[in-house]
Amino acid sequence: MPANNKYLTPSPSQRFAKITAAILGGLLVSILFHMALASWFNHVTVIITSTFSAFILWAILMVVAFLGKNGWKVWGIYLLACLAFFILFYFGNQTNPIV
């Protein structure tokens, strides 16, 4: 049964934004989230746990990217989340350096 046209994204740029936000943006957010956790908590435990939780978080973020109406807004949200997690990672490394 073919998809209903009212649920399909008509614009190629929106389709491109949603696909790239789902794959690349979701992966960046997932990895930076776990890097930020590793900089504040026991990094060995977070790395071992992230083998499963990073994939689950990435899959959830992929679904969320396709649920949004505007792919560029999803990219903006993912980039803001990446920036926030990078700041947490940076200050976590300054406070708790791994020797």
Q: Averaged in consecutive runs of 10 residues, what is the pLDDT profile of the chain (99 residues)?
A: 71 89 94 91 86 93 91 94 95 78
In a domain, 7, yes or no: no
Q: Compute φ and ψ for 42, nearest 5 degrees.
A: -60, 110
Q: What is the pLDDT of residue 46?
A: 85
Among all chains, which residue has been given the structure tokens 């926030």?
A: 84
In which domain, by residue range, is 26 found?
Answer: 13-92
Q: What is the pLDDT of residue 9?
A: 66
Determine the pLDDT at residue 1. Answer: 65
Let me know if residue 22 belongs to a domain.
Answer: yes
Question: The tokens 């060995």 sit on which residue?
Answer: 44
Look at residue 99 in the predicted model and tell me its pLDDT. Answer: 58
Q: What sign does the CA torsion over 39, 40, 43, 45 have? A: negative
Number of domains into which the chain is organized: 1
Helix axes 43-67 and 71-95, enclosed angle (nearest 10): 170
Instruction: Give how far the C-alpha of residue 92 lies from the chain's centroid of Cα atoms, to the nearest Å.
Output: 19
